[in-house]
A and B are shown apart, each in its own frame.
Chain A
Amino acid sequence: MNQALPTLTVKDYTSDQEVRWCPGCGDYAILKTMQKLMPELGKPKENQVFISGIGCSSRFPYYMNTYGFHTIHGRAPAVATGVKLANPELDVWVITGDGDGFSIGGNHMLHVLRRNVDLQILLFNNEIYGLTKGQYSPTSQLGTRSPSSPRGSIDLPLSPCAVALGAGGSFVARSIDTEAKHLSEVVTRGHAHKGAAFIEILQNCPIYNDGIFEQVKDKKLAPDHRVELQHGKPIIFGSNSEKAIKLNRDTLALEVIQIAGKENQILVHDENNRVLANMLALMRGPDFPVAIGVIYREDKSSFIEDTHQQLLKTRVARGNLQQLLGSGHTWVVE
């Protein structure tokens, strides 16, 4: 089984299609990272399948020189489930956005996570509808001015990672479009995970929502506005690593503390703790840093694996069609 795979490079994963995102779009960075990462994952190229819905991010499969299917709005998780059920050998990736994945396709997202379907779901979150020209999305911050909310949106936003956790997601992570190294690490871990790997990628839309993640992306601002989670490590941030997250055991809430003198109060990240994961996923400015990294992970039964186990057991004896047609009560007319 240990067939040596030919050494592939970024070129092998780059399709001949001209990339058609706006100049400066965060999607370019994600695409580059993925094209570079794929050879490193060491899986046969012909087994890589990218399934997308509709939206700017969903053009992604056209640019990957793998199998790809640009489907319909919101339905990529359902199409991907069918692909994976038909051929569990395939590595199936879902490319979606905040509107595609959590507005029109929210139901399918909920159910692939609940069933723990073996997929890698990359959700490009730019907190806006790009392809339809700038309307607010289900992740847009309250008060977002857009063509459909000229006086500011009054829709309360959702947190993709918190919803993924609520749906029973077994791998929930967050990364940033331009942080190639971090994104590669997170995606690599998601790829190795058995079950649904949900990865929210904070992505800048330079046209309709420019700079929305500036605080977590900017080299100077980021240290104070984001925290990188690592399993078993204390949750520390700040330009001089002077701040940390603490769990207040009386209020069951997180707090930001200055470390000096409180070293023993620093919360240690446990990616297997769902309750903690939920609190970390919901952290946001201005009072809290935004958490990136693997927020939660657990091993649990995989829908695809269980389906095929059941099939294998049932098919120990293959069906005989003639026997089926003649099963039950029959009678002979002479």
Chain B
Amino acid sequence: MELAEEKLNEHHLDENKVVAVVVRFAGDSGDGMQLTGANFTQATALYGNDLSTFPDFPAEIRAPIGATFGVSAFQIYFGAEEVTTAGDALDVLVAMNPAALITNVANLVDGGLVIVDTGAFTAKNLTKAKYATNPLEDGSLDRFRLLEIDISSQVLKAVEPYNLGHKAGLRCKNMWTLGLVMWLFDRDRNPTIQNLRSKFAKAPDLAEANVAALNAGHAYGETAELPSGIHVYKIPKAKVAPGTYRNVTGTTALAWGLIAGAELAGVELLFASYPITPASNLLHELSNRKEFRVNTFQAEDEIAAVCAAIGASFAGALGITSSAGPGIALKAEGIALAAATELPLVIVNTQRGGPSTGLPTKTEQSDLNMAMFGRHGDTPMPVIASSTSTDCFEVAIEAVRLATKYMTPVMLLSDGYLANAAEPWKIPDVANLIPFPVKHYDEVVGFKPSLRDVKTLARVWAKPGTPGLEHRIGGIERSYDSGDISYDPENHQRMTNLRKDKIKGIAADIPLQEVCLGNQSGKLAVVGWGSTFGAIHQAVKRARHEGLDVSHIQVRYLAPFPRNLGELLRGFDAVLVPEMNTGQFVRLIRADFLIDAESLSKVAGQPFKIGEILAAIHAKYASLNPQTKVASNAKREQVK
């Protein structure tokens, strides 16, 4: 299906009662936009809104100042209702320079608020952003509310007492802007002030200068005469289940899930990895958590990383390796060794735009084919995917469970969006997590490395250091009976079948597929996997408000599929599969279940917008039911 977008009929700032807002902070990659966004997120969570964030930054560490390709942005959607995406269109855009304006203004709703630092709209910066005329003067921003402030000079005035000098003083611009936006949405500045004082504990002057800038921005909102229609917006608190909450990114949740998995399994982890965007943060987080059952190893390359992980698993620990697409490709031979020798291994793929170097900092789901099929030989393995940042915690535990219980490599798919996006997380009670203790084999009598559990078909895990269990394993085909090298034709057939059946059998050990929103059968099912969850969920919700019979199904287990998935999908007249690739998952569904599922593909390095999925739902629904086609068209006319 062609990707089209429906502009959602939203002008939040004009509503009598503003219940949800999308704010985007955009500036140079050195302007501190990510820090600004993180602090605003924290204040928003503490305020009691539901929220979702989307850090969107360039691959360049420090691009030339003022360049469009160096624009770093942080988007947050927050409100009184359930929030599952970072939002389609912007209500508020903070543009620290012309490049930040030109790359983001197209996403601002009519009547939206744009805050600019006039001090950065110099002739030089306008040229770098390829503006022929100054947008602040040529009327091109007339359909927005424009708040022009010489932030640069305001900041320099505010930090003057701290004698930072011109350059360092201007560095506080982000905090001044944050102060202003905090005023706009009635956020508490105190947590940010605490953060600044602890971040700059060794340079108290710098901390206080930043605090002064933050307060000055806030005071500006309170005292300056602002254009009409710009005032404090009080967004009601979201109704959420009682409990203790925190914000968490997918990377953090995944790291903690692996730690929890190790505790529940009762094994040591060796996390062996090689730095690669956007997967490196997982290595950073785990490197700092060695008080748990975790050791980390920064290997010399991707291949060494997977091999060291396999070595650790042979020695009785659980080897885990992690990378993004290009690195996972390099690990393929190692993964097959783990499958052949039946050793546990978890491989985390934080997917990014491909092929080759592709879009290192942008998100995509295009490694599904590689996860499913990217190995030599008949080498099946479980593949699971996390759907949200908080879901990464559970999925990581599940990967550890499957790997250790079935003695198999397990591929865990995350992506660049999930890795960096933060959302509130109701902190789970560790006591409620179900342990799955690992037992290393130690029975000397009758031991063979080929012994296996009759039910799971998992091979025994006998670790070096155990007296009497000395044995050899390797990549050469092994005898089903003895575990010794075997080139016997019948044995290879038997072992190939065994490997297939073992993975297939996992379907009996995973939950049945559920419908997460809507009816169990009906007209249209929108089926997703991975980080498309949020956009699909909101789109289906809106479609259901319109009275359409649409259900949302989000699949975590991609191999093997839940045993009821085919039957469930057959209960719908039509199946629509949005995914950030050219249709990899939809092909699996079509092939496995002979269902005429339709693909909705997007590979722009950006997550789906709600409006894009809603448009596809309308189009698909209309093709199923001529009456609704009219209604749907009429609705779209209205929007235009």
Q: Which residues of A contact B (CB under 8 A)?
A: 15, 17, 44-49, 51, 54, 61-62, 64-72, 75, 77-87, 89-90, 107-108, 110-111, 307, 310-311, 314-315, 317-319, 321-322, 324-326, 328-334
Contacts of A110 in B (CB 8 A): 300
Task: Return the contact of B260 from the options A47, A62, A69, A321 (Cβ within 8 A).
Answer: A321
Known: A111-B304, A321-B259, A333-B241. 12 other contacts (CB 8 A): A17-B472, A46-B464, A54-B475, A78-B299, A78-B303, A79-B307, A85-B312, A111-B299, A111-B300, A307-B295, A314-B291, A329-B246
Q: How far is the CA of A89 from the CA of B463 in the complex (A)?
A: 12
**A329 and B244 contacting across the interface, CB-CB below 8 Å:** no
Of A62, A79, A310, which contacts B472 at CB under 8 A? A62
The answer for the CA separation of A90 and B311 in the assembled complex, in Å, is 12
Contact, CB under 8 Å: A78 / B470 = no
Main secondary structure of the interface of B (DSSP, over half): mixed
Set of chain A residues within 8 Å of B464, measured between Cβ atoms = 46-47, 49, 67, 83, 87, 90
Q: Contact between B311 and A78 (Cβ–Cβ < 8 Å)? A: yes
Q: Which residues of chain B come closer than 8 Å to A325, judged between CB atoms?
A: 246, 256, 427-428, 430
Closest B residue by C-beta to A12: B470
Complex partner residue of A90 from B290, B333, B334, B465, CB under 8 angstroms: B465
Please determine whether B290 and A314 come into contact, CB atoms closer than 8 angstroms. yes
User: What would be 7 A-B contacts, judged by CB atoms less than 8 Å apart?
Assistant: A81-B299, A85-B312, A87-B464, A111-B300, A330-B246, A332-B243, A333-B241
Q: Whole-angstrom distance from the CB of B199 to the nearest CB of chain A?
A: 13
Contacts of B42 in A (CB 8 A): 329
Please give, as numbers and ranges, the residues of chain B lying within 8 Å of A45 by CB-CB distance.
467, 470
Q: CB-CB < 8 A to A78: which residues of B? A: 299-300, 303-305, 307-308, 311
Q: With A and B bound together, what is the CA distance between A319 and B310 in angstroms? A: 25
**Which residues of B sit under 8 angstroms from A329, Cβ to Cβ?**
42, 45-46, 191, 246-247
Q: Is A68 in contact with B307, judged by CB distance below 8 angstroms?
A: no
Chain A residue contacts of B260, Cβ below 8 A? 321
* Closest beta carbon of chain B to A272's beta carbon, Å: 27
B288 → A minimal CB distance (Å): 9
- Closest chain-B Cβ to A13's Cβ sits at a distance in Å of 9
Per-position binary interface string of chain B over residues 258-282, scored 1 when its CB falls under 8 Å from any chain A CB and 0 otherwise: 0110010000101010000000000
* A47, A72, A334: most-surrounded residue (chain B CB, <10 A): A72
Which residue of A65, A108, A310 contacts B290 across the interface (Cβ within 8 Å)?
A: A310
List residues of chain A with CB within 8 A of the CB of B183. none
- Interface residue from B48, B268, B307 paired with A86 (Cβ < 8 Å): B268
With both beta carbons as reference points, the residue of chain A lying nearest to B311 in the complex is identified as A82
> Is there an interface contact between B476 and A333, defined as CB atoms closer than 8 Å?
no
Which residue of B has the minimal Cβ distance to A77?
Answer: B304
B122 within 8 Å of A by Cβ? no
Spot the interface stretch: B14-22, B222-230, B315-323, B520-528: B315-323
Complex Cα gap A184–B315 (Å): 27
User: Quick check: B291 and A70 within 8 Å, CB to CB?
Assistant: no
Q: How many CB-defined contacts (below 8 Å) exist between A and B?
A: 203
A13 to B143 CA separation, bound complex (whole angstroms): 84
Contact check: which of B263, B309, B472 meets A61 at CB < 8 Å? B472
CA distance A319 to B285 in the complex (A): 14
Question: Min CB distance, A206 to chain B, in Å?
Answer: 23
Shortest beta-carbon distance from B2 to chain A in Å: 42
In the complex with contacts A46-B467, A307-B295, A330-B427, A82-B307 CB distance below 8 A: yes
- Does B593 interact with chain A (Cβ within 8 Å)? no
Residue of A nearest to B473 (CB): A69
Most chain A beta-carbon neighbours within 10 Å: one of B42, B242, B468, B475: B475
Q: List 6 A-B pairs, minimum CB-CB distance, nearest first.
A: A82-B311, A70-B474, A82-B308, A78-B307, A86-B315, A68-B472
Q: How far does the Cβ of A61 sit from chain B's closest Cβ, in whole Å?
A: 5
Please give, as numbers and ranges, the residues of chain A lying within 8 Å of B468 by CB-CB distance: 46
Set of chain A residues within 8 Å of B220, measured between Cβ atoms? none
- Do the beta carbons of B430 and A85 come within 8 Å of each other? no
Interface of chain B residues 295 through 351 with chain A (CB within 8 A): 295, 297, 299-301, 303-305, 307-317, 319, 333-334, 337, 341
- Minimum CB–CB distance from B311 to chain A (whole Å) comes to 3
Q: Are B247's CB and A71's CB within 8 A? A: no
**From residue B319, how far is it (CB to closest CB) to chain A in Å?**
6
Q: Is the CB of A85 within 8 A of B297?
A: yes
A70's contact among B256, B319, B475, by CB below 8 Å, is which? Answer: B475
Chain B residues, CB < 8 A from A328: 246
Q: How far is the CA of A331 from the CA of B247 in the complex (A)?
A: 9
Cβ-defined contact, A67 with B299, below 8 A: no
**B200 close to chain A: CB less than 8 A:** no
Among B263, B314, B341, B471, contact of A83 (Cβ-Cβ < 8 Å): B314
Task: Report the bound CA distance from A64 to B470 in whole Å.
Answer: 9
**Closest B residue, CB atoms, query A111:** B300
The residue that A321 contacts in the complex, of B240, B247, B263, B297, with Cβ under 8 A, is B263
Distance of A65 Cα from B485 Cα, bound (Å): 15
Q: In the complex the two chains form, is A46's CB within 8 Å of B465's CB?
A: yes
Q: A70 contacts B476, CB within 8 Å?
A: yes
Complex interface: chain A residues within 8 A of B301 (CB): 107
Specify which of B304, B305, B315 is in contact with A87 (CB 8 Å cutoff): B315
Assembly CA distance A117 to B427 (angstroms): 40
Measured CB to CB, the closest approach of chain B to A39, in angstroms, equals 14
Q: Which residue of B lies closest to A74 (CB)?
A: B303
Q: Does B484 contact A (CB under 8 A)?
A: yes
- Measured in the bound complex, the distance between the Cα atoms of B203 and A78 in whole Å is 43
- The residues of A that contact B319 with a CB separation of less than 8 Å are 82, 86
Asked if B466 is at the interface of the complex by the 8 Å CB criterion, the answer is yes
With the chains together, A80 CA to B256 CA distance in Å?
27
Decide: B46 and A86 in contact? CB cutoff 8 A.
no
Q: Does B507 contact A (CB under 8 A)?
A: no
Asked if residues B304 and A107 are in contact (CB atoms below 8 Å), the reply is: yes
| Contact A72 B311, CB 8 Å, known A46-B467, A108-B300 | no
| Nearest neighbor of B425 in chain A, beta-carbon distance | A325
Least CB distance from B549 to A in Å reads 33
